[in-house]
Amino acid sequence: MRDIRLLTEMFIPGSLIGPFTQANPGLGGVCTFVGEVRGDDGAEALELIHYEPLTLPGMDRLADRAFGRFDLMGLLMVHRIGILRTGEPIVCVSAAARHRRDAIDAVDFCMDHLKSAAWFWKREKRADGWHWIEPRAEDHAGLARWEVPPPA
Partner 1 sequence: MLVRVLFLGPLADLAGTDAISVPAPLDWAGLLEAVAPAVAELLPGERVKVACSGRVLTDKKSLRAVGGDEVALLPPVSGG
Binding site for partner 1 (CB under 8 A): 35, 48-49, 51, 53-54, 57, 79, 90-91, 111, 114-123, 132-135, 139
CA 79 to chain centre: 6
Q: How far is the CB of 132 from partner 1 (least distance, A)?
A: 4
Looking at the Cβ atoms of 18 and 121, the one nearer to partner 1 is 121
Transcribe the chain into DSSP letters.
-EEEEEESS---HHHHHHHHHHTSTT-SEEEEEEEE---SSS--EEEEEE-HHHHHHHHHHHHHHHHHHS-EEEEEEEEE-EEEETT-EEEEEEEEESSHHHHHHHHHHHHHHHHHSSSEEEEEEETTEEEEEPPPHHHHHHHHTTSSPPP-
CB-nearer residue toward partner 1: 12 or 54: 54
CB of residue 137 vs partner 1: minimum separation in angstroms?
A: 12
107 Rama class: left (phi>0) / alpha (psi -120 to 50) / beta: alpha
**Cβ-based nearer residue to partner 1, 19 or 121:** 121
User: Considering the complex, what minimum distance in angstroms separates the CB of residue 99 from partner 1?
Assistant: 25
Q: CB of 51: closest distance to partner 1 in angstroms?
A: 6
- CB-wise, 74 or 142, nearer to partner 1? 142
Q: Which is nearer to partner 1, 17 or 59 (CB)?
A: 59
Shortest Å, Cβ 34 to partner 1: 11
